[in-house]
Chain A
Amino acid sequence: MMFIEMNQLQMAFGRQVVLDDVNLDIPKGELFGLLGPSGSGKTTLVKIMIGMLKPDYGMVTIGGVQMPSLRQMKKIGYMAQSDALYSELTGRANLDFFAQLFQIPKARRKERIQETAAIVDLTAHLDKPIESYSGGMKRRMSLAISLLHEPELLILDEPTVGIDPLLRESIWADLKKIQAHGTTIVITTHVMEEAAKCDRLALLRDGVLIAEGSPEQLEQQSGTASLEAAFLHFSKPSSQTEGSVS
């Protein structure tokens, strides 16, 4: 049994089909990338995964438990596209608030605030209000919040959008560190270089999974030299793909 199993997911908002028969399995400990242009259904898929949305058809299980499940939500760390921070409050107050929502005991809470702040290199800024943070600092604070409860599964929706290359590099270093601790990570992105750093990828286009595999496999299968070229190759309706085509 895979850690995350998605079976025949179908989702539409009104008459617009957002996900069409998505089947995807992700093993424990993997750093998995969902690659696709904006509007391809990445965020919807991620929200179904964590149990925020209920699919019209099909189901998701995480660790063998069908989502949505409040019990499983405890094991998931989620970082959305927006930073979702309380700007009037300090970094520490933000971390403390979310730590309480995850019901981390008080003593442990203090430790975890220190630990996560250290991971994202914000220890020196913990007592400043978020308003005074730069964009990159906010992003890192947002990441720290999603790490507070030591989730088994970390889901990051476009974590490095609008971030300078240096910071992007450091976030990726953080992710590799977190993965080394056994955390499964699912990340969405539309940046090809980032996708190349994932263990495995799923290519999503117009709500359809058009290909799946490691970056190398995808390049091989398409006979191309870059992920970008591979993506274009799989996007052509006539091409041979291993994903389902509607």
Chain B
Amino acid sequence: MRIWAITKRIVHQMLKDKRSLALMMIAPLLILTLLWAVLDNDAYEPKIAYSDLPGPFVDALKKTNAKLKQTDLNEAKKLLEDKAYDAYLEIKTAGGKPELKVLLEGSDLGANASVQQAIAKASKEMAPDTLAVQNSYLHGSSDLSMFDHTGQVMIGFFIFFFVFIVGGVSFLRERTQGTLERILSTPLKRWELVCGYIAGFGIFIILQAVVITLYSIYVLGIYNSGSILSVLLIDSLLAITALTLGTVLSAFAKNELQMMQFIPLIIVPQVFFSGIFHIESIGFLTVLGKIMPLAYGSDALSRVMMRGESIASVLPDIGMLAGFALLFVLLNILALKRHRAL
């Protein structure tokens, strides 16, 4: 069977091309690990300088994770300027009432928040009789890090990104090295070529999706409250969609560089629609999001992994992804008409 001949050839080629194989399998793991290291670390310990604070308040602050230093305003300003400390606290009396003055270094969003958290905690310690707040979570828990919240989307994105590159470039190379023309001078049908390609690369990209997913869940310990099989299915489908998108876009690139130019144009913008950012309030963006395959993949991943939903409840997303893949396959078969009339 001719489809099988193409599939087999791609497998042979991939196995010979160790570098591309490594790019597909190892590069995403490396990046995910870095991301995990950055996002999954413990809460930042704010460094706070102070002067003239009441003893009990200093004691309360000491109970937080903040690092404290007694100093005066002038030295504190210098410390903040050098970024050695994040904030300076002092009590000033204004209108007969004491007021806590907080001077923040300000350039680091995370540090600002940590300082404010520490102060809030210490204030509560000082006045325990105010309304106690007890948080509980319908989905997830207070232990979840930034990595748990954005990781699933990142898994989807990296699968999409690496598959797009490898699949798109190799289909393009088929054209630039002249083999596409030669293949099309045989009685092979255009749909057979496209199917053979997807089957051949499909083996590797599904393997890649499985490796990335298992690594994220079992090695990096990303939060997953859903079924791992559902996650694997969604990731694989996302990879197939990226592959078909890559191959169809390669028809519009003259060389590898032009293929790379699609990355900022087609791939990176998808991140904005992947659920990391809230875009509901921006009308035209929500409309654009409807045509972004990654948006559906991310939505499905986040529902399954974060909210523990079943595969049945993300069927609309899965349907959309499959629909995109099918559309891209058909477009590709059509685009090949430029190279052979029949």
From the candidates B13, B183, B342, name the one contacting A101 in the complex (CB within 8 A). Answer: B183
Nearest A residue to B14 by beta-carbon distance?
A88
Q: Which residues in A have their C-beta under 8 angstroms from that of B2?
A: 100-101, 103
Q: A69 contacts which of B5, B17, B342 (Cβ < 8 Å)? A: B342
Q: What residues of A have a CB within 8 angstroms of the CB of B30 in the complex?
A: none
- A180 contacts the other chain (Cβ, under 8 Å)? no
Q: Which residues in A have their C-beta under 8 angstroms from that of B178? A: 80-84
- Chain B CB count within 10 A is highest, among A50, A82, A101, A145, for A101
A70-115 interface with B by 8 A CB criterion: 70-71, 73-74, 76, 78, 80-89, 93, 97-98, 100-103
Instruction: List, in ascending order, chain A residues with CB within 8 A of B342's CB.
Output: 51, 68-70
How far apart are the CA atoms of A88 and B14 in the complex, in Å? 9
* Chain A binding surface, main DSSP class: loop
Asked whether B182 lies within 8 Å of A78 as measured between CB atoms, the reply is yes
Contact partner, A52, options B5, B9, B13, B340, Cβ 8 Å: B340
Contacts of A78 in B (CB 8 A): 182, 185
Q: Is B69 an interface residue (CB 8 A)?
A: no
A71 to B188, CA, bound (A): 10
Bound CA span A83–B269, Å: 39
Nearest-Cβ distance from residue B15 to partner chain A, whole angstroms: 9
B window 139-198: CB within 8 A of A: 177-179, 181-189
**Is A225 part of the contact surface with B, judged by Cβ < 8 Å?**
no
Question: In the assembled complex, how far is the CB of residue A215 from the closest CB belonging to chain B, in whole angstroms?
Answer: 28
Q: Does B16 contact A (CB under 8 A)?
A: yes
Question: What is the distance, in angstroms, from B25's C-beta to the closest C-beta of chain A?
Answer: 18
Whether B5 lies near A51 (C-beta < 8 A) is no
Which residues of chain A have C-beta atoms less than 8 A from B8's C-beta? Answer: 97
Return chain A residues, CB-CB under 8 Å to B188: 101
Complex contact B182–A84 (CB within 8 A): yes
Closest to B341 in A: A54
Cα separation A53 to B184 with both chains bound (whole Å): 11
| A102 to chain B: closest residue by CB | B186
Contacts of A52 in B (CB 8 A): 181, 184-185, 339-341
Q: Which residues from chain B contact A53 at a C-beta distance below 8 Å?
A: 341
User: Are A89 and B16 in contact, with the CB atoms below 8 A?
Assistant: yes
The answer to whether A89 touches B9, judged by C-beta atoms less than 8 angstroms apart, is yes
User: Are B5 and A68 in contact, with the CB atoms below 8 A?
Assistant: no
Q: What per-residue 1/0 map shows which CB atoms of B206-226 lie under 8 Å from chain A?
A: 000000000000000000000
Which residue on A lies nearest to B340, using beta carbons? A52
Report which of A70, A89, A93 forms a contact with B189, defined as CB distance below 8 A.
Answer: A70
**Which residues does chain B contribute within 8 Å of A70, judged by CB atoms?**
187, 189, 342
Q: Smallest CB–CB gap between B139 and chain A, Å?
A: 48
B182 to A145, Cβ gap below 8 A?
yes
List 13 other contacts, CB 8 Å, given A70-B342, A97-B9, A145-B182.
A51-B340, A68-B342, A70-B189, A71-B187, A74-B186, A84-B182, A88-B16, A89-B12, A93-B9, A93-B12, A98-B182, A101-B188, A103-B2
> What would be 19 A-B contacts, judged by CB atoms less than 8 Å apart?
A52-B185, A52-B339, A54-B341, A70-B187, A70-B189, A73-B185, A74-B187, A80-B182, A81-B178, A82-B181, A84-B178, A84-B179, A84-B182, A86-B177, A86-B179, A88-B13, A89-B9, A89-B16, A98-B182
The interface of chain B, by Cβ under 8 A from chain A, is: 2, 4-5, 8-9, 12-13, 16-17, 177-179, 181-189, 339-342
In the A-B complex, the 3 residue pairs with the closest CB atoms? A82-B178, A100-B5, A84-B178
Residues of A within 8 A of B (CB): 50-54, 68-71, 73-74, 76, 78, 80-89, 93, 97-98, 100-103, 129, 145
